[in-house]
Structure 1
Amino acid sequence: MYDAIILAGGENRKDLAGVSPQRYEALIEIDGRPMVTFVAQALADSHKIDRIFVCGPDALANCRFPANTTLLAGGRTIMETIMIGMNALGHQDKVIVATADIPLLTAAAVNDFLANCSMIDADLYYPIVNREMNERYYPGTRRTYVRLREGVFTGGNLFLVNPAIVPSCLAIGNRLIEHRKNPWKLCCILGWTFIWRFLTRTLSLKLVEKRVSDLLQIRGTVIQSGYPELGIDVDKPSDLKLVNDRFRDLLPTHK
Structure 2
Amino acid sequence: MTTALVLAGVRPGGDPLAEFAGVSHKALIPIGGVAMLDRVVDALRASGRIDRIVVSIDRPELVTRPDVEVLRSGQTLSASVSDALEKLGAPLFVTTADHALLEPEWVGYFLDHLPETTVAAGLARSENVMAATPDTKRTFLRFSDGAFSGCNMFFLRDASAVEAVRRWREVEALRKKPLKMLVRLGPGAILSYLLGRLTLARAAAAAGRVLGASAGVVELPFGRAAVDVDKPADLILVRRIVEGG
TM over 0.5: yes
List 4+ stretches of structure 1 deviating above 4 A. Answer: none
Give the counterpart of 1:158 among 150, 153, 161. Answer: 153
Q: Which whole-Å CA distance do the structure 2 matches of 1:22 and 1:175 have between them?
A: 30
Query: Bigger CA drift: 171-180 or 139-148?
Result: 171-180
Question: What amino acid maps onto 2:9 in structure 1?
Answer: G
Equivalent residues of 2:9, 2:73 under 8 A apart: yes
Q: Secondary structure at the match of 2:149?
A: strand
Q: Which residue of 1 aligns with 2:100?
A: 103
Give the counterpart of 1:177 among 156, 172, 180. Answer: 172
Residue segments in structure 2 that go unaligned for 5+ positions in a row: none
Query: Bigger CA drift: 211-220 or 240-249?
Result: 211-220
Equivalent residues of 2:118, 2:161 under 8 A apart: no
Q: Which residue of 2 aligns with 1:41?
A: 42
Q: Which whole-Å CA distance do the structure 2 matches of 1:226 and 1:141 have between them?
A: 17
Q: Which residue of 1 aligns with 2:84?
A: 85
1:1-255 pair list within 5 angstroms? 1-11=1-11, 13=14, 15-17=16-18, 19-58=20-59, 61-63=61-63, 65=65, 67-89=66-88, 91-92=89-90, 94-117=91-114, 120-250=115-245
Query: Bigger CA drift: 8-17 or 175-184?
Result: 8-17
Q: Which whole-Å CA distance do the structure 1 matches of 2:15 and 2:208 have between them?
A: 32
Query: Bigger CA drift: 222-231 or 40-49?
Result: 222-231
CA RMSD of aligned residues (A): 2.0
Deviation at 1:62, TM superposition (A): 4.0
Equivalent residues of 1:131, 1:153 under 8 A apart: yes
Equivalent residues of 1:102, 1:229 under 8 A apart: no
Deviation at 1:37, TM superposition (A): 1.3
For residues 21-43 of structure 1, give each alpha carbon's deviation from its aligned partner in whole angstroms, at most 9, with x where no partner exists.
22322222222332111111111
Q: Which whole-Å CA distance do the structure 1 matches of 2:222 and 2:96 have between them?
A: 16
Deviation at 1:134, TM superposition (A): 0.8
TM-score, length of structure 2 as denominator length: 0.91
Equivalent residues of 1:146, 1:183 under 8 A apart: yes
Q: Which whole-Å CA distance do the structure 2 matches of 1:62 and 1:17 have between them?
A: 14
Deviation at 1:61, TM superposition (A): 3.7
Q: 1:163 to 1:80 in 2, by over 3 A?
A: farther
Q: Which residue of 2 aligns with 1:253?
A: none
Q: 1:74 to 1:204 in 2, by over 3 A?
A: same
Q: Which whole-Å CA distance do the structure 1 matches of 2:201 and 2:17 have between them?
A: 36
Q: Which whole-Å CA distance do the structure 1 matches of 2:49 and 2:69 have between them?
A: 17
Q: 1:203 to 1:48 in 2, by over 3 A?
A: same
Equivalent residues of 2:123, 2:219 under 8 A apart: yes
Count residues with an aligned counterpart.
Answer: 244
For residues 103-146 of structure 1, give each alpha carbon's deviation from its aligned partner in whole angstroms, at most 9, with x where no partner exists.
100001101111111xx311111111011111111111100012
Deviation at 1:223, TM superposition (A): 1.0
Q: Secondary structure at the match of 2:209?
A: helix
Query: Bigger CA drift: 132-141 or 29-38?
Result: 29-38
